[in-house]
Structure 1
Amino acid sequence: MTYSIAKRTCKTASLTLAFLVKLSLLSSQLMAQRELKDIPIPDPEVEKATFVVDEGWKAELFAGDPAMAKPIHMNFDNHGRLWIASSETYPQIKPGEPSNDKILILEDSDKDGKTDRTIVFADGLLIPTGVLPANDGDKASAYVVNSDQLLYLRDTDGDLVADEKKIVLAGFGTEDTHHLLHSLRWGHDGWIYMNQSIYIHSHIETPWGVERLNGGGIWRFHPETKRLEIVVRGFVNPWGVHFDRYGQMFATDGAYGEGINYTFEGSVFVTAVGAKRILSGLNPGSPKHCSLEILSGNHWPESIRGSMVTNDFRAHRVCRFKVSEDRSGYESVQQAELIKTPHVAFRPIDAKQGLDGALYIADWYNPIIQHGEVDFRDPRRDRTHGRIWRLTHKDQKPVENQPITAKDPVEKNLARLADDADLVRLFAGQALRQQVRSSGQAKATLDAYVQTVAKDPSRGLEQLELSWVHEGLGHFDLTLQKALLDSQDGRLRAAYTHQIANQIRWVRTSQFGSLDPSQIGQWTALGKKLVQDDHPRVRLEALRLLSQLPGVEAAQAACLALHKPMDRFLDFALWQTMRDLSSVWLPEFRSGKFRFGNDPSAIAFALKAVEDPSTIDAVLTMLDEKVASDSPANAQAARSTMAILVAELGNGPQQAKLVDRLIDPVNPTALPDENLRGNLIQAILDASLRRKEALAIEPSTAQTLTKLAEQAIAKDKKNEALAPMDLGLVALRTLGPWRIAGARPRIEAVSQDAGSSAAVRVAALRSLANLGDEPSKELVNQLTQDQNIEVAIAAMERQADSNFGAAAKSLIGRLVKDPSRAESLSNAAAGFLGRKDGAQNLLGALQGIALDASAARQLKSALRKMNAGGDLIQAIDTAGKLQENRWVLNDELKNKWLELAKTQGDPAQGEWIYRRNELQCIQCHKIGGVGGLVGPDLTSIGAQAPADYLLESLLNPAAKVKEGYNAKLVRTQSDEVFAGIPVRESDDEVVLRLADGKEVTIDKDDIQDIKESRSLMPDGLLDSLTQEEAIHLLRFITELGKLDGKMLVANNGALRQWEALLWTEKAHVLFNRTSLDSIVGDQSNFTWQLNPALVSGGVPMRSLATFRPHPGVPNHTFLRTKLNVTRAGDVVLDFGNAPKGSIALWANGKPIPIDGKNVKVPMSEGEHWVFVGVNRDIIGEESVSISIDANSTTAKF
């Protein structure tokens, strides 16, 4: 379909005239925004004056308004011209208005670093979110995303204005305008890569069938054949995708904070629909980033060459990362920002390197960026400005900046394939494909060149580029394949292994879904060889190659990867491969015909990957067999995995058989880990309670469980610590539910024994309650009045099973009598609310009673998180007289508080208020990568959100809930209610993140109903604060992330995720009887509480417990943090300016002497607890700074 598009061309006015126009526009804008605050003057020179540019870099204006406005996306063409997708309509067109967004071409004809001509290539568009020059002929053409369509626009007469339009693909989702298809980029393989975001559902018809992608992901499209593939699934709003020199793909997410993401075919990331497992990015806790560019070319100084550049538009920063190899994946370390500024309208959203070698930044320019939280028509939204900044480095060399086209000699384009600059190679490859398609002589020249280059091992990168030229033509050259697979460089072998996987998909699509048996055999044999390659990334690519091949041989070959070192990317790739091939190998496994060559590691891994209940009988049989393995550790790990599968997926009789094996005193299924066995039996107990059936165990098993329970009771009497999953303690919990003969008298006695610990008494009480008869119920009712609050609450919870009204009255009555226990009782009340008729019974219990105000606030906060209704909240307000102390948002309060926050608010005091336990901010929100996950990350919230929006969020959190944080309310068939943030959802389960940060997995078969809920942030959160405290808190929130503020999280290596030791009698006695070195011993002796670092990076000491086990011993506060080491090496810890003798350190289970301000600690791969003792007699109330010296540390995290 083609039709004419109206032509429009404009020339950029002189700078003087442009400035006068800006002044004219400014005067009218200021009139319109007279009543608004913090609206900057939209002058690029004023904006530029605020830039803090990294050393050696220079930023200059390349283009700006009025010639160009609101750039969404940009790409360069092979003539060096910059194409812009521009939308003044975003975020939503006004009803009745015509759509007139544009594609612009910016040209710098005299190459002075400033655009001198702007051409409207196309208009009449509606929010175009991507533009990609096609570079496919003499005339200008481009692929353009226009809402739900991918268009091809072409100029036919040479005036750089589109005359023809073709709809290439249609059916992309349009549910959310900033999640539309976007981020178009050419791959060197001749395919277009493009992204879509979380709220988009696309159903695309192609000549090869319908392709569907629900939610976020990355597409791959071949324009000549119209093949369309999904490469990656997931992400929230991924506005960045790029490839390194070896074709490895990376992405950034503009709405999720994990920095640079390494992606590969079949990889799955956060929010992917139906995902049971996801990968994480290379920079966990990093702010959200938009766009991605790699600085390529030998004109850049070596220190920055290869850096990845992206944008933190919320915090007004252009960021740079150094990415290096790390086994099958990569590691990423953030460097100094290229640009940072306090200017609230600087919104860098795209970054591209041009043919001239400079870096270009698209500045959306807008003081307002919130899409879901701020009104579409908010007058502070800027719709007329925007600019492109050009960045250069003082040490970069000049480059040849010439068009690269099919008119150039073939030999010249072939030579360009060796260039270090990405665009040069990209455009040369495109030109070569055009030349080969149109000329037999060009093909002959190419073929001859391939033969020459393939013989020279030193020209591996050229071999790879040539292979990509062929791939774009739909051809896979065997000469290049042999050369690349024989290369000594594992990166080249990995690149071509990836290309073979692409070839398999190409052939399968060409043959409409089938592969020839001979092809399958050849590729399987090759995959088997490559999956054992010495380079881990070759093995990863080989796994994804094998996933394309039907046959149990491919599945067995894939598991050979387990016999080489694994890492998280390899583990995921193998897991995904096992699932991809499950329709082939699983039926054969169930029938007993296929056993992965009797490799226990392979069997365990594959079964865990698919989690299919139909395999459990076979698994039980294998648990009884002697396992042949290359190492006892592997056999042990395989048995553990198999036992876990039976506990998780087995039915009652199958689980009963496992229990018998787990407690066999002679051979407990060869699982020496008692904690694991305890966990497995607890999981089986929980499953039997959900089924409401007693497990049919053998009499000998019942006797053993009784014996184990008695051993736990005896240990407890001797004050020996019992872990929560102590095998005997778990056994005690089973005696009642599994109807073990003769257990009643013992569990009755233990449940009432004040000399036993709460853990043992509660275990006995719950066991007793599950007998379900009248004597048991009567004793449970009595125990609701027990002096031990944990026992009393456990009794109330069981009382509610048979007499909910009485249990609710017991709970509220105890809250009246003992308000000091408000936190525990309120949490129990929240559990009540989650049951059927919970609200009604709690409402009845609240009638006519008076609550302590602080206890009422605690109760209200806990119930709000469970979506408590208005009647129940009103009853709490009445009982605690809370209405008298409420802060209600209105215009008067808003204006007053915003002004006070500016003039009198103290962000430092506000940070301490934010950290208060009763507000629970830390439990829900992250700052600097530390904190909860059920609320938005606040690291840079002050730089990205207007103060009035933040105030409204504090006082009325349900008014505007940030996208991705809308809670869901799930009621199960057993009338349990869960309120939480959806984490992921598959065909058979829903995963919610609850208010306490824990994740709960709910089988869809067990869901009675599911509906939208409110924000998990409770109303009335600030009601306990004075106005002065509220003002300080507001000032703190509004300062977060501002470059010129006091609450900017520094990238200084500070360790931020700390826990502090709470004072308990048990811990004090242990230190008294032993020494402070006991801190690294049995952690069941200690109680830890989250104590994250301040925004500054210091770990606060204020209000933390101190221990002084003997006179003359200094007071000490204890901290701990966990380091997840992904590659062994030295960790250098820096203690800043801490005085000598003020810090004690324990790591690797032993004390580490500190000599000087830092210390080197060797660490193996895995998780390591680091413990710190702070001498409070020296430090006092000051914060301590503990960081990792990145320059000296060789370990990887």
Structure 2
Amino acid sequence: MIHEIHGVRVLDARLSLSLMLEDPEIVTPIGIAVDTEDRVYVLESHTHLPPKDYAGPSFDRIKRFADTNGDGQWNEVMVFADSIIEGLNLAISPAGELHVITSREVWVLYDRDADGISEERRLLVSLEKPEQVYAHAAMLSITFDASGQMYLGRGNTGSAHWVLAGSDGSRVSGYGDGGNILRADADGSNLEIFSTGYWNPFDLKFDSYGRLLVADNDPDSRGPNRLVHAVEGSDFGYKSLFGGSGIHPYLAWNGELPETLPYAVPLGEAPSGLMNTNLTTFPSDYRSQFLCSIWEESRIVRIRFAESGLSVTGDTEVVVEGGTDFRPVAFAADSKGNVYFTDWVMRYYPNHGRGRVWKLSAIDSSHSLAPETAYSPAHEHASVTKWKALREGEVDAAVLKGALQSKDAFERHAAILALGKPESQAILLEARYDPHPAVRMGALLALRRFRLDDGMESAKNFLTDADPEIRRAALIWVGEQGFTPLSPHIRDALSGPGFSVELFETYLETVKMLQPDFINAYQAKAKPNAKQLPRALPRGFLSDFISATDIPGEWRSAALTFLENPSEHRDLLVRMLSEEEDFSRMVDLIRIIVPLSDPKVADALAALAFNPEMHSEVRAEALWALARQPYTEWQEAIALLHSSEEAIAIEAARFLRFRANDPAVKQAMVSVLEDGSSCESEGLRQQLMLAMYEDKGKRPAPIDIPAWLALLEGSGDVSRGRRVFFSTVASCAACHAHAGIGGDLGPDLSHVGKSKDRRGLLSSLLLPSQEVSPEWQGWYITMQDGKRYEGRQIDVGDNDIKLYTQQAGFISVDKKDVKDYGLVEASLMPEGLLDRLTDQEIMDLLAFLENNKEE
């Protein structure tokens, strides 16, 4: 039987849910912790983007709740601490001391007279730079291991230069790197980076075997959100230097690059809190699992683990779910094995005055887990033992080389760390020339990590390795280290066997990274955010590359898609389009040439579109491109409505949609509708009905997602979907980019199919305001004269306000001329966009967005 309370359902009938507190007794709760006497501490947020008229206090506070009479209810409440700014989470250390992490600091709070109020606090770690940063991209999470060492999660700071200081003056810093997991002693001393490559690691907890698991949110276009197993020196692939999309040849998200590790478990949108179920009295089948709150999806899931090499993998199952007014955040367990968790309630990031705290418990404890204490000594585990033996044991060449050839990335990583030990240096130098590419790759990564020499000679040799993945890793090494003396040699990486687009993209990015302007600007931290630093190819680089006769044709063809200013190469592109014979390269050329509104371009496209001997996909692509050109002979497209090739007929109908009132067009469209077409296409019929009669057919209400899924059941066409995405009808590309083409007012959608399923994609299209991540939150500025601007990335200064808009990019207005500004309640993406499209066009668009293959 499913248990439900206040619209929140427990899907496991063996568990029960109790509401412990709700507003106004608790508002916008975020962090939670339980001490050894089962007193519950809740961090109440009041400083997270409070609206202008917010009635709450001007600081966050920690409330302490206790059940002193044993009736299961909290009858004692005290404000344990206040004067906290942008608090994020709480943790009790093994010594029993309460810690609070804010966006900028870590404090330990003392109640030495045991009166329930903290009268003393000590600063352990502080974020010295940047001076301003969004709270969810700075300091985020805190936990301790059984020995008392402290682990902290730091967000990517939007690529701003950051400096963290420990209590002993130890400092770590970065500029353009990813988020980190940091480690320090219990008193905040000996601060160091433990793991890197995160977006925003919102929570982290140890399992019962001493493995550190981290819930990481995903970049704009590189999903999914993920649970990762963080080990010493691990890199999970993200670097903020390359922007917020997460898409760049130097980046990885699931171990795609050899120096990075894969995630353990994919998670839903906005994972916020973690809990080791061994601390509970849940049923015994919950043993050695985790709970995870999925804030955006209004769910709590159990994570079931399976061993995978020296790490874990797993899957998730929903345990608790609610409606839009259920937003679970953080967990804590008491000594009886009950789980308490906070609930932000509303899908609204600024403080809003709502909140709840819940208790999740086992109904029958007769077949339950015996709860462990939070800092029990770690249990023995074979994979943990093997990791330590590889990392810390005696050096053995055969063992290390064998580990480098393992299919398990964690075993390879342990071997690479072992190669960095002084006693391994001879093995490392020998491994550079090993016949097995995996061993050579391990040597490259160890040399790159530990910098046993200046690295340039080794990197140069690896640029000519027979293995293309080693050559690619060498390019990244050269680029990240700024090895400018190797600039004349990096093209050698394209000379060996193994063509791939990824290798070519990496080569181009390495050329950019070696430009003196970029290196000087990066070293000087010339921009507040590293992602703002321009990285550009030398002028004429690509045109010279394309024209070079000593470079194989496949590499030169690949270069075409990277031309940044095709208008400067119009004549070359038109000539190549007329001479090219490979149909896939012709399609690439059409996609490159389409922004060039020019009569010569239009004539070249028309020659393809109306050539009956040409491949149908080329003709359809040319028709799509021709719609953007100054082409006066558009009547030629009328005859194509009768084409036997569906792609051509549909594209002709879309081409003519806004000319449906022309008598010749109307007659042809009516003829196809009444007499049928050669291709008998339902997609074509829908196009004509929409053009002639604005008839889209019967459709469900936007909120009825199941009915929409049923309506759109069936397959779409990826190529047609791409043409829909970039069409002037759908206008998707006005705000969103895909594969480097399009606008940037909204998130890059190149890999959206990896983070959203069909339901999620359709929901975003139909109900764009239901899910808006904070970095895409809309803002408005209303001027004294009544003019209104809308955009994102607002920056309110002392004298002016800056806002990023679709029409003009960043605008700046004088603050004295501003009447009002604030959050836009709805998404910047307007509703009703699908009203412009036929059902088949929507199916094709979904197929395109779901497709994860490189085109």
1:294 maps to amino acid: N
Shift in Å at residue 601 of structure 1? 9.5
Whether 1:86 and 2:51 are equivalent positions in the alignment is no
CA pair 96-591 structure 1, distance change in 2 beyond 3 A = closer
CA pair 559-222 structure 1, distance change in 2 beyond 3 A = farther
Shift in Å at residue 222 of structure 1? 1.9
CA distance in 2, matches of 1:333, 1:363: 24
Cross-structure match for 2:83 = 124
Deviations 1:463-511 (A, max 9, x none): x7xxxxxxxxxxxxxxxxxxxxxxx93421314666x5xxxxxxxxxxx
Cross-structure match for 1:695 = 548
Cross-structure match for 1:589 = 458
CA pair 539-149 structure 1, distance change in 2 beyond 3 A = same
Cross-structure match for 1:164 = 120
CA contact (8 A) 1:323 1:333 kept: yes
CA distance in 2, matches of 1:938, 1:1122: 11
Shift in Å at residue 322 of structure 1? 1.0
Q: Which of the residues 100, 105, 114 maps onto 1:144? A: 100
Cross-structure match for 2:364 = 394
Q: Give RMSD over aligned pairs.
A: 6.6
Cross-structure match for 2:637 = 818
CA distance in 2, matches of 1:596, 1:384: 58
Cross-structure match for 1:351 = 331
Whether 1:249 and 2:122 are equivalent positions in the alignment is no
Shift in Å at residue 818 of structure 1? 2.3
Shift in Å at residue 640 of structure 1? 9.5
Cross-structure match for 1:544 = 417
CA contact (8 A) 2:205 2:276 kept: yes
CA distance in 2, matches of 1:339, 1:763: 48
CA pair 67-787 structure 1, distance change in 2 beyond 3 A = closer
Deviations 1:69-120 (A, max 9, x none): 4320112333333322122454426479742422122334466654343332
User: What SS does structure 1 have at the residue aligned with 2:458?
Assistant: helix
Shift in Å at residue 351 of structure 1? 2.4
Q: Which of the residues 185, 195, 214 maps onto 2:153? A: 195
Shift in Å at residue 616 of structure 1? 7.9
Shift in Å at residue 122 of structure 1? 0.8
Shift in Å at residue 749 of structure 1? 13
CA pair 905-812 structure 1, distance change in 2 beyond 3 A = farther
Whether 1:786 and 2:607 are equivalent positions in the alignment is yes
CA distance in 2, matches of 1:600, 1:239: 38
Cross-structure match for 2:273 = 291
1:903-1052 to 2 correspondences below 5 Å: 907-908=708-709, 911=712, 917=721, 920=725, 933=751, 962-964=773-775, 1021-1022=833-834, 1024=836
User: What SS does structure 1 have at the residue aligned with 2:314?
Assistant: strand
1:824-835 to 2 correspondences below 5 Å: none
CA contact (8 A) 1:748 1:764 kept: no
Shift in Å at residue 150 of structure 1? 1.9
CA distance in 2, matches of 1:904, 1:319: 22
Say which structure is richer in strand. Answer: 2
Cross-structure match for 2:321 = 340
Q: Specify every segment of 5 or more residues in structure 2 that has no aligned partner in the other structure, as ranges.
A: 243-249, 255-262, 512-536, 562-573, 592-597, 642-646, 663-689, 739-748, 779-791, 794-807, 813-823
1:385 maps to amino acid: G
Shift in Å at residue 242 of structure 1? 1.7
CA contact (8 A) 1:688 1:695 kept: no
Shift in Å at residue 305 of structure 1? 0.2
User: What SS does structure 1 have at the residue aligned with 2:360?
Assistant: strand
Cross-structure match for 1:101 = 60
1:258 maps to amino acid: N
Cross-structure match for 1:57 = 15
Shift in Å at residue 542 of structure 1? 3.5
Q: Which of the residues 71, 74, 84 maps onto 2:32? A: 74
Cross-structure match for 2:382 = 489
CA distance in 1, matches of 2:753, 2:493: 45
Whether 1:222 and 2:185 are equivalent positions in the alignment is yes
Cross-structure match for 2:571 = none
1:482-521 to 2 correspondences below 5 Å: 489-495=382-388
Cross-structure match for 2:171 = 210
Deviations 1:408-428 (A, max 9, x none): xxxxxxxxxxxx8251516xx
CA distance in 1, matches of 2:321, 2:433: 48
CA contact (8 A) 2:227 2:266 kept: no
CA pair 574-99 structure 1, distance change in 2 beyond 3 A = farther
Q: Specify every segment of 5 or more residues in structure 1 that has no aligned partner in the other structure, as ranges.
A: 1-44, 401-419, 427-460, 465-487, 501-522, 625-634, 652-683, 710-724, 734-746, 767-776, 799-803, 829-845, 856-881, 888-897, 955-959, 968-980, 983-1008, 1034-1058, 1061-1087, 1094-1120, 1124-1166, 1168-1197
CA contact (8 A) 2:335 2:373 kept: no
Deviations 1:900-949 (A, max 9, x none): 767999545665699795865999899xxxx963599666999999x9x9
1:704-723 to 2 correspondences below 5 Å: none
CA distance in 1, matches of 2:575, 2:437: 54
CA contact (8 A) 1:82 1:107 kept: yes
CA distance in 1, matches of 2:420, 2:66: 46
1 or 2 for the larger relative contact order (CA 8 Å, sep ≥6)? 2
User: What SS does structure 1 have at the residue aligned with 2:98?
Assistant: strand
Bigger radius of gyration among the two: 1
CA contact (8 A) 1:291 1:349 kept: yes
CA contact (8 A) 1:232 1:265 kept: yes
CA distance in 2, matches of 1:644, 1:692: 12
CA pair 885-158 structure 1, distance change in 2 beyond 3 A = farther
Cross-structure match for 2:303 = 321
CA distance in 2, matches of 1:528, 1:180: 43
CA distance in 2, matches of 1:938, 1:732: 31
1:606-1005 to 2 correspondences below 5 Å: 607-611=474-478, 689-691=542-544, 694-695=547-548, 697=550, 751=578, 783=604, 785-786=606-607, 788-789=609-610, 811-815=630-634, 817-818=636-637, 852=659, 907-908=708-709, 911=712, 917=721, 920=725, 933=751, 962-964=773-775
Cross-structure match for 1:425 = 376
Cross-structure match for 2:742 = none
CA pair 815-295 structure 1, distance change in 2 beyond 3 A = farther
* Aligned sequence identity (%): 17
> How many aligned residue pairs are there?
673
Whether 1:272 and 2:90 are equivalent positions in the alignment is no
Whether 1:363 and 2:343 are equivalent positions in the alignment is yes
CA contact (8 A) 1:546 1:558 kept: no
1:579 maps to amino acid: R
Cross-structure match for 2:666 = none
User: What SS does structure 1 have at the residue aligned with 2:453?
Assistant: helix
CA distance in 1, matches of 2:590, 2:703: 56
With 207-216 and 239-248 compared, the bigger mean Cα shift is at: 207-216
CA pair 778-827 structure 1, distance change in 2 beyond 3 A = closer
CA pair 424-196 structure 1, distance change in 2 beyond 3 A = closer
CA pair 347-648 structure 1, distance change in 2 beyond 3 A = closer
1:1102-1113 to 2 correspondences below 5 Å: none
CA contact (8 A) 2:103 2:139 kept: yes
User: What SS does structure 1 have at the residue aligned with 2:414?
Assistant: helix
CA pair 333-225 structure 1, distance change in 2 beyond 3 A = closer
User: What SS does structure 2 have at the residue aligned with 1:132?
Assistant: strand
Deviations 1:534-574 (A, max 9, x none): 985454224235458799657547879995989xxx98x88
Shift in Å at residue 323 of structure 1? 1.3
Shift in Å at residue 306 of structure 1? 0.7
Shift in Å at residue 311 of structure 1? 1.4
CA distance in 2, matches of 1:765, 1:90: 48
CA distance in 2, matches of 1:750, 1:919: 23
